[in-house]
Amino acid sequence: MPRSLPPNLLPCARTAVVLALAAVAPAAADNAAPPPDAFRSLNDTAIAIYQDAKHRFLAAQDPVVIVGFDGVAIRHNGTVRRVGRLPPVYDILKSVGHLPRSLWAALRPAIEGLDPGEAWRKDLSALRPRAEAALAALPDAGLSPEATRRDAAMLKAGIGLIDLYLAHGLPTRAQLQDDLRALAPTILADAAEAARAQIDAMDRDIRPWWESLTQAERDRTFVLVLGAKTPRDGNVAYAYFVDLLGRAEDGHRVVYAEGIFDEAGADRLLATLLTDRRLSVDFFVDERRMERDLLADGAEARLLELFGRLGTP
């Protein structure tokens, strides 16, 4: 049975034990992995702070122009104006041009063997009476005499093609191309007239507002043009605002909001641009650095190594 320490040595023993435990504790802490929630908590808090910064920068941005699918919203000095609405002739020209496109969409998959149930017949049968109704309404639609003439011819040609295909079956691909290419000049002429109508509607409302701004207000204006991916090159509204603000603002303060279809989405994109561009300057002395993936430079170097292209032209 172990002997007890003399009373006068007990304090010394306790001190020795405490010191020993204190020496072991840092080593144990160094070897222990921090709980996973520590990283998640850090990340969540950091993101919340970053999101708050985005909201502040967005709230302070003025003026902001958001070009939607039927008009333009101008935010300036705490007010919102909606201008530049598309004129009725724009939608009429677009609708007429959709007839030949629908013919193609019904027939081309079937020509490639992707319509074993012959749904194209049902589609064309549904399209025909609507084309007839549009043809009857065309004289009173408000188009120019030239547009009325050419669109009447295209609607009649489209109805004739529907009757031909329903009576004789699917055309070959070459036959379909010949039939539709005959309509291409009218489609392009209508597109040109629709573009003119859209530009004139915007310019009538926006130019006076733009000319009323101070130079400082012009220099901080952001324009976001909503749209899908494919029409980006040559988008009418985008081209208009690049000319209005200046070619140097192409992609800088005139931004194509690809795949964004409402103002809330535009605001999220704008908040990111306003925040990331400030961050990019303060960290990297390059305003656009965060518009590239932060991993891009390291990824490029590693991929050059990985695929044997390092040091090759």
pLDDT at 35: 74
Q: What is the pTM of this model?
A: 0.83
Contact predicate 247/265, CB 8 Å: no
Beta strands per DSSP E along the chain: 64-67, 72-76, 79-83, 222-227, 254-258
Averaged pLDDT, 23-41: 67
pLDDT tens readout for residues 116-144: 999 999 999 999 999 999 999 999 999 99
Block residue for tokens 């043009």: 225
Contact predicate 85/201, CB 8 Å: yes
Query: Would you say residue 20 has pLDDT above 60?
Result: no
Query: Would you say residue 16 has pLDDT above 50?
Result: no
Block residue for tokens 């603000």: 245
3-class secondary structure, 84: coil
How many other C-beta atoms lie within 10 A of the C-beta of residue 107? 23
Contact predicate 134/155, CB 8 Å: yes
End-to-end CA distance of the chain: 83
pLDDT tens readout for residues 146-184: 999 999 999 999 999 999 999 999 999 999 999 999 999
Angle, to 10 degrees, between the axis of helix 88-111 and the axis of helix 119-137?
160
Contact predicate 63/221, CB 8 Å: yes
Read off the pLDDT band of 36 (50, 70, 90). confident
pLDDT at 232: 78
pLDDT at 17: 40
| Integer Cα distance of 198 and 286 in angstroms | 36
Residue 27 β-bridge partners: none
3-class secondary structure, 93: helix
pLDDT tens readout for residues 235-285: 999 999 999 999 999 999 999 999 999 999 999 999 999 999 999 999 999
How many other C-beta atoms lie within 10 A of the C-beta of residue 266? 23
Contact predicate 241/67, CB 8 Å: yes
| Integer Cα distance of 276 and 279 in angstroms | 5
Query: Would you say residue 309 has pLDDT above 60?
Result: yes
Per-residue H/E/C for 8-75: HHHHHHHHHHHHHHHHHHHHHHHHCCCCHHHHHHHHHHHHHHHHHHHHHHHHHCCCEEEECCCCEEEE
How do beta strands 254-258 and 222-227 pair?
Answer: parallel
pLDDT at 230: 79
Contact predicate 241/221, CB 8 Å: no
Residue 83 β-bridge partners: 72
Query: Would you say residue 15 has pLDDT above 50?
Result: no
pLDDT tens readout for residues 198-223: 999 999 999 999 999 999 999 999 99
Q: Is the dihedral of CA 246, 249, 251, 255 positive or negative?
A: negative
Query: Would you say residue 18 has pLDDT above 80?
Result: no
Average pLDDT along the chain: 91
The residue among 147, 239, 161 whose CA lies nearest residue 199 is: 239
The H-or-E segment that residue 279 falls in is: helix 263-284
